[in-house]
Amino acid sequence: MLISFDRRRRRNFSAVLLTIALLFSSILPVTADNVWSPGPETEIVFVSGTPEEALVTQIRLFAAELAEKVTGSAPSIRYGAADTAGYGDILLSLDTAHALPAEGYRISLSGGCVTIAASDADGLFYGCRALIRQLLASGTVTAVQSSPDVAERGLSLDCGRKYYTVDWIKQMIRELSWANMNTLVLHFSEEMGFGIESKLYPWLAGRDGMLGTQAEAVTDSRVLTYEDIAEIVKYAELYHVEIIPSLDSPGHVNYLVKKFNEQCAANDYSFTFRGKVYTAKAGTVIGNYFHYNGQTAIVQGTRNRAYSLGVDISNETAAAFVQSLIEEYAILFRSLGCTKFDIGGDELLGWGNSIDWRVPKWQQLDHWKTYAQNRAKAEGRANYADAVAYDAFMYYMNDLYDLVTGLGYTSVRMWNDDALRSADTGWKQVVELNKNIDIWFWTTGANTVKDYIDAGYEVYNILCDYNYYALTFNYFSGNRELFVKASPEVIYTEWNPYIFDPDNTDPAAVTNTTAGNPAVLGSSFAIWCDHPDLKTEAEVMAEVLPMLRAHAVKAWDTDYSLRHSYTEFELLVQKCGSALDASEKMPPAPAVQEIQPETPEVPVQVPETEAVQNKSGISRSFIKVKKH
């Protein structure tokens, strides 16, 4: 009798008897050689052995999201061989033998089942998301194979000048993940604030309205705690988003300069870094300055001119203070599993007056030049006398690279505008920038992207023209002068990660790169908060998401806009909707006894069909979808 069969065999037997009568009803899944959709008895079957805990959680999240977005209830999950699958099931196959690219996946259909195959857990994650989005877009799933065009696809968030709540950051993580973006840079140090508590210097973190113009003045003591950071990193792991800390120096540190100067304004102040005690005498000022022909002048930023834009790297105490901070946060984030670090290095010399307008600013730093020559001489460099101020900067950035890699970081990047600068510095490369430092390319200026690539550096595209959302009054004006290309449709139609010069339309030009250039490691969008209170965090989320989604689709598939109009893309985004928080609704993991595969009376073979390369399909759309 039917009642004596196990559930899988009942489903197979029922399918044989009722397929013709119920083909178009809602009782059974829709299946054919080239389409599939779930039914009420659909199960998720992991066919590659017993997964580790993190992968089990990933599969549970998939089941919860499928329920939230499509089915209404979460399919049950079990482990077993492919031949234990029932009609309408979802098979998950994770095996390096699939030989799929990193983060890539293949969806295939056979025997009434759909199989999602990947060679790594990231690819399986994106394949599961692809299945959900196909169902949202068309109601059925079709075969497809897809992988990203660039490895890193992220967002850089200025949480130094503006406080973002943990819940907001979690929502952004979900939105990034839903758009197949995989990194979030927490840029927590800036000219008007410092966004993460310091255990070494409890007096440090916060925001100071004195450092902004009247319109920008914001004093906000709220900061992210160590516990907040741990919670954020753990949550990001669930959504396959990597957190990257960003502590910019030696420029953009007005706030650090002010706070340190206050500590030693009336009394000596001492701190310890790597076993050595450093003492700043009362009245010490660690900010950078121009020194030329016996004259000095502060290095001014665009805002409060009383505090230097940067820190004086020729001052041993000043450099050690910044390095001690970088070490503190590098240890924190590394203990949480993070492996990438942004060490900054941009906009060092400000926008105000120097000493002599006829001389390049880089040649008005005699104290840096002396420091570089003395250090090069002590190292026994024969050409030490050729060292200039720029060599001091190269020393500084190389020191930061050594510091963070010594703590276990495997990827370090800096901004491009002051990297490999020679024309106005007199640099003869006495000190060479470490070749392992990657380049955040945000602006066309002293160098083209080809200059960095030809010199042996790898790059990320965070080009400000298209990829900056900035809380400035100008940004929201009707005649915006800055970041004029940063709109969803323009990003979608004009930009991709290999476009580094928007004013040069020749794809073969040296100011851009050809698609697939292996030196281009990824891309990023950026949120900057010059006027922190100009928008609420909810307004920031609503306004930035359309741009993020356009960036995301072009980072995954650079050619997508050649095949689909912006209107079609908008419709797809509308159908897929926003990310939902299904992390609290995940079904339980299968019990241990369910791990053993069943032995069916009539095996259902589910061979994997040949992958369909569908560059024009839905999965390869939404799935495939600075600094200033």
pLDDT of residue 509: 58
The answer, yes or no, to whether the previous bond of 250 is cis (omega within 30 of 0) is yes
Q: Residue 58: in which H helix or E strand, if any?
A: helix 53-66
pLDDT of residue 414: 98
DSSP 11-50: HHHHHHHHHHHHTTSSSS--B-SS-B---TT--EEE-SS-
pLDDT of residue 33: 64
Looking only at the bridges linking them, the beta strands covering 295-298 and 289-292 are antiparallel
pLDDT of residue 598: 43
Q: Higher model confidence: residue 209 or residue 341?
A: 341
In single-letter form, the type of residue at position 397 comes to M
pLDDT at 361 over 70: yes
DSSP 70: I
Rg of the chain (C-alpha set): 28
Q: Considering only the top CATH level, what class is 2-148+567-620?
A: alpha beta
Q: Considering only the top CATH level, what class is 152-251+314-350+393-556?
A: alpha beta
Task: Note the pLDDT tens digit of each residue in 149-160.
Answer: 999 999 999 999
pLDDT of residue 215: 56
pLDDT of residue 32: 62
Q: What are the residue boundaries of the structural domains of the chain, listed by start?
A: 2-148+567-620, 152-251+314-350+393-556
Q: Cβ distance 208 to 237 under 8 Å?
A: no
DSSP 310-354: SB-TTSHHHHHHHHHHHHHHHHHHHHTT--EEEEE----S-SS--
Task: Note the pLDDT tens digit of each residue in 268-285.
Answer: 999 999 999 999 999 999
pLDDT at 338 over 60: yes
Looking only at the bridges linking them, the beta strands covering 193-194 and 189-190 are antiparallel
Least confident of 252-256, 459-463, 550-554: 252-256
Helix/strand/coil for 77: strand
Q: Cβ distance 597 to 520 under 8 Å?
A: no
Question: Which pLDDT band holds residue 93 (cuts at 50, 70, 90)?
Answer: very high
For range 457-482, the mean pLDDT: 93
Judge whether 2-148+567-620 and 152-251+314-350+393-556 match in fold.
no
Residues in the chain: 628
pLDDT of residue 608: 39
Averaged pLDDT of the chain: 87
Task: Note the pLDDT tens digit of each residue in 366-423.
Answer: 999 999 999 999 999 999 999 999 999 999 999 999 999 999 999 999 999 999 999 8
**Crossing angle of helices 226-238/316-335, nearest 10°?**
50
pLDDT at 594 over 90: no
pTM of the model: 0.88
Question: Which residues make Cβ contacts (< 8 Å) with residue 495, sequence separation at least 6?
Answer: 463, 466, 467, 485, 502, 551, 554
Q: Residue 554: in which H helix or E strand, if any?
A: helix 537-556
Q: Cβ distance 348 to 417 under 8 Å?
A: no
pLDDT of residue 212: 61
Least confident of 243-257, 446-460, 497-511: 497-511
Question: Which pLDDT band holds residue 502 (cuts at 50, 70, 90)?
Answer: confident
Question: Which pLDDT band holds residue 447 (cuts at 50, 70, 90)?
Answer: confident
d(C-alpha 556, C-alpha 515), whole Å:
12
pLDDT of residue 43: 95
Task: Note the pLDDT tens digit of each residue in 11-39.
Answer: 443 333 333 222 233 344 666 668 899 99
Residue 534, CA distances (Å) to 216, 221, 472, 474, 480 in order: 8, 18, 7, 11, 16
- Helical ranges in 179-268 per DSSP H: 226-238, 254-263
Looking only at the bridges linking them, the beta strands covering 340-344 and 242-249 are parallel
**Crossing angle of helices 166-178/226-238, nearest 10°?**
20
d(C-alpha 286, C-alpha 299), whole Å:
12
Looking only at the bridges linking them, the beta strands covering 437-441 and 276-280 are unpaired
Q: Higher model confidence: residue 546 or residue 215?
A: 546
pLDDT of residue 508: 56
Q: Cβ distance 228 to 286 under 8 Å?
A: no
d(C-alpha 576, C-alpha 368), whole Å:
54
Structure tokens at 117: 């195959």
Residue position matching structure tokens 């005699």? 366
pLDDT of residue 479: 86
Q: Tell me what percent of the residues of the chain surpass a pLDDT of 90.
A: 76
